[in-house]
Structure 1
Amino acid sequence: MLPTEKQYVQWHENETLRNARWLSQSNQVPPARIVLVDDKTTADQAYRLSCAGTSMLWDGDFHNARQLLQALTRRIERSEQRKTSKAANKNKSAKPTAESVLPETLPNLFHQQRQAQAQRSRVLSRLLLKLDTRYVSQLRRAPDVSVACTAAFGELDEPCLLSFRDLQGALGAAGWRAKGVPIENLGLSIFPHYGVFAPTRHEYVQLLLDAPLPNEHDIAFDIGTGTGLLAIILAQRGMQQVIATDLNPRALACASENFARLESAVQLQQADLFPTDAPVANLIVCNPPWLPAKPTSPLEYAVYDANSTMLRGFLQGAKQHLAEQGEVWLILSDLAEHLQLRSRDELLGWFADAGLAVKYRLDTQPKHGRSQDTTDPLFAARSAEITSLWCLVPFDN
């Protein structure tokens, strides 16, 4: 939803000073310099303006704005390729391939990719659109975006400026919410909301179906529920009481809708990790962000966990919320280990520090497209990735 503290942006249009509410889902500050651009603006001109830090307010055909954004993306990709080739020539070596990448260089390559992604996001986010009250666009051939924007950003009774990319995100989220994400293992679909990570990678679902439930299965917690998928699995498998928590209001609204659609009797609670005023659980499940890096947007909080803060906090608190003979199921990829961002010994040390021991582990290999992309310099790490369900129990169990 919209931030509680309103921000406004100003620009000149036909020698008249205009202003509007500033919306940014990546928390970017209002642009200091805005110029008007339209159908006559070339992609090269727009690229130079954006790279120089100038934001561009689109005043042309809506579909041409989408084409301009695609053209800007191609120019960014060409620029990145030139930089890679230049670096390779400087080092008198060929462009790095998956086979030529040394393991010790993977952390640097990962951070370079993250920096390139951040720069790409900044450049592309400088193409802006103005929407009138209730998200009405006056551009030629503009679709009705009011429903998608209201669902993503909340009600708005004043004009606003936002990046075309944020608008595309809202429209894309509306599509996911309408058609759902099929979960083949379960024979059902999950309906994500804007700002809630869609479970398009769900190879771990089979792990939760295969893991034997604890002997006592009265109460289960799903920590950081997101769309609510894991809580739904626990309820379908016969856990008598399932309590799902999340700190993100968007996630809570999303999970609540999915529970209602599937008639899952799951209790929801807004909490930072563990529920309050709840009995101890026979089973505690968590699928935390898998990579220890700083998120740069709300959606990235589902993927990146700076300093593994959530993971370590979950492990440290799990034992005190666990019933006697209870189990912890931790869903975690080892991609961070292959990227040398975290070691296996470090992870096992966190288990031990939390008073938890490994009872068993179930593994599955990735099936997503990036794990098959041999042109990716990180291919060696991605193709070796394993996602595991770690069953953890207290030392004295």
Structure 2
Amino acid sequence: MSAQSKAGAGTVSWEEGGRRCTAVWRSESGARAPRRIAVADDRMAADIAYKLVCEGTALLWRGDYHGARQLLAALGRRVDRKPPKQGATPRESFHLYRQARSRRARVLGMLLVPLEIAPGGSYAVPLRRAPDVGPACAAAYGTADGAVGDLELVSLRELQGVLGAYEWRRKGVVVDALGGERIHPYHGVFSPVRGEYVDLVAQAPLPRQEAGGLVAFDIGTGTGVLAAVLARRGVGRVVATDVGERALACARENVTRLGVARAVEVVRADLFPPEADGQADLAVCNPPWLPAKPTSVLEQAVYDPDSRMLRGFLGGLAERLAPGGEGWLILSDLAEHLGLRPREQLLEWIADAGLRVVDRLDARPRHGRASDPEAPLHAARAAETTWLWRLRRAAD
């Protein structure tokens, strides 16, 4: 029923029907290919499935698609029977929580479904009652690279994420600061569902009244939402940067859809745009808020290892600001409440970068976890505030 798979070179293999089968391993989250794969269907009991996946054996589903969804839910209930431990400090509790989430993702990621390459480079799931996954997979993966009928394997949990992300992209996210218009996030690009940080950028006073002559940088633009807000506020030129090709395409589509493409230029750059773009009257950055190592590609919008992006923005800001210009740093203080980064350290980095604080605006989070006493890390989340730090060069 199970056998060692060849996980190298992005492929996996398994025994099925008396023959050796091989497929490409697909994981947008960066998960490793499973070393062992067993074939499973609707006859497999959830307890047996849970034992296998906990022991490191992935399950390739060959039954009804909705049966796979039911088994995934059953596996989730079994994982959740053991809640994360609480540490002696908020920092310890945070790391224990992350360990528990990592284990949960690993266990649930062991239920696999086949993806079959269809005509035209699209994808299909060759299971009974499977949904049409072609448009969602095309949006997340692009055109399939292989012959019609070739198989790839993907975790059902990731495929559900791809399908959910496609619905977000198709329907969009309402942004109050854009007059109720919508931003359409791509798969893997941070969605502006937490609107308080967008509202802060919409409300903060611009460096000077003549907005039409302002030049702004939006560092790490993601969906382009902050660049669009600045353009709607009348900023004459916004240079929006990102390193991810998917984010760049997402931002370009959104600024075009919102009718601000003439004011917003989207360019590929790590932090600040090329020197040829000169200095800015305003530079805005919303880095990942927690200084920790991401365990998957999708966590890169949340976790900033060693505060790399935050420190890079602060370290390069003074040189790229025009006289009298401002840097707007949007940052939650959740890291402070978790004991991951004290306020004094942030203030020290600001001073060491030749900057000074001229003002600080705040907003309270509106997401459900901030008010749910049963949510993990509730005490820290309930105390969280999102800040917009207005920074200028110390010499100005």
- TM-score norm. by structure 2 comes to 0.92
1:377 is displaced (CA, Å) by 5.2
Pairwise mapping of residues 157-172 of structure 1 onto structure 2 (< 5 A)?
157=146, 158-172=150-164
Partner of 1:106: 90
Say yes or no: does 1:58 pair with 2:56.
no
| Paired letter, 2:320 | H
What is the match of residue 291 of structure 2?
292
C-alpha distance in 2, partners of 1:314/1:364?
22
Aligned counterparts of 2:224 and 2:367: Cα–Cα separation in 1: 21
CA distance in 2, matches of 1:295, 1:173: 20
- Provide the alpha-carbon RMSD of the alignment: 1.4
| Equivalent residue, structure 2, for 1:384 | 383
Query: For 1:165 and 1:154, how far apart are their aligned partners in 2?
Result: 19
For residues 248-290 of structure 1, give each alpha carbon's deviation from its aligned partner in whole angstroms, at most 9, with x where no partner exists: 1110011111011111121011110000021210000000000
Provide the residue aligned with 1:250 in structure 2.
Answer: 246
**Which amino acid is the alignment partner of residue 65 of structure 1?**
A
8 Å Cα contact 1:135-1:159 kept in structure 2: no
How far does residue 310 in structure 1 lie from its aligned partner after superposition?
Answer: 0.8
Q: Is the 8 A contact 2:97 2:376 kept in 1?
A: no
Give the whole-Å Cα distance in 1 for the aligned partners of 2:363 and 2:26: 40
Deviation of 1:166 after TM superposition, in Å, equals: 1.2
Instruction: Indicate if the aligned counterparts of 1:256 and 1:268 stay in contact, CA closer than 8 A.
Output: yes
1:91 corresponds in structure 2 to: none
What is the CA-CA distance between 1:6 and the residue it aligns to? 5.6
The answer to whether the Cα contact below 8 Å between 2:31 and 2:296 also exists between their aligned partners in 1 is no
User: After superposition, where does 1:349-368 map in structure 2 within 5 Å?
Assistant: 349-368=348-367
| Distance in structure 1 (CA, Å) of the matches to 2:94 and 2:175 | 30
Aligned length: 374
Q: 3-state DSSP class of the match of 1:135?
A: strand
CA distance in 2, matches of 1:6, 1:234: 45
Unaligned segments of structure 1, at least 5 residues: 85-95
Amino acid at match of 1:130: P
Residue 8 of structure 1: aligned partner: 11
- The CA deviation string for residues 129-182 of structure 1, in whole angstroms up to 9 with x for no partner, is 111113222200011101111110111134201110111111011100111011
Please give the secondary structure, in 2, of the residue aligned with 1:132. Answer: strand
**Which residue in 2 is equivalent to 1:274?**
272
Unmatched segments (≥5 aa) in structure 2: 1-7
Moved more, 210-219 or 231-240: 210-219
Distance 1:214 1:120 in 2: 46
SS in 2 for 1:176: helix
1:333-352 pair list within 5 angstroms: 333-352=332-351
2:217 aligned partner: 221
Post-superposition Cα deviations, 1:202-242, rounded to whole Å, max 9, x if no partner, equal 11222112211112642100000000000001101111000
Larger relative contact order (Cα-Cα within 8 Å, sequence gap ≥ 6): 1
How far the C-alpha of 1:303 sits from its partner, in A, is 0.7
Query: Percent identity, aligned pairs only?
Result: 55
Alignment of 1:188-199 (within 5 A): 188-199=181-192
For 2:72, the equivalent position in structure 1 comes to 69
Partners of 1:177 and 1:282 in 2: CA distance: 32
Partners of 1:258 and 1:267 lie apart in 2 by 12
- Whether contact under 8 Å (2:177, 2:229) holds in the other structure is no
The corresponding residue for 1:237 is 233
CA distance in 2, matches of 1:378, 1:8: 38
For residues 169 and 14 of structure 2, the distance between their equivalents in structure 1, rounded to whole angstroms, comes to 35
For 1:365 and 1:269, how far apart are their aligned partners in 2?
A: 32
| TM-score of the aligned structures, taking structure 1 as reference length | 0.92
Aligned equivalent of 2:4: none
Equivalent-residue separation in structure 2 for 1:377 and 1:288 (angstroms) = 23
| 2:106 equivalent in structure 1 | 122
> Within 2, Cα distance between the matches of 1:292 and 1:154?
32
Deviates more, 1:157-166 or 1:254-263: 157-166
Question: Aligned with 2:114: secondary structure?
Answer: strand
Which amino acid is 1:268 matched to? V
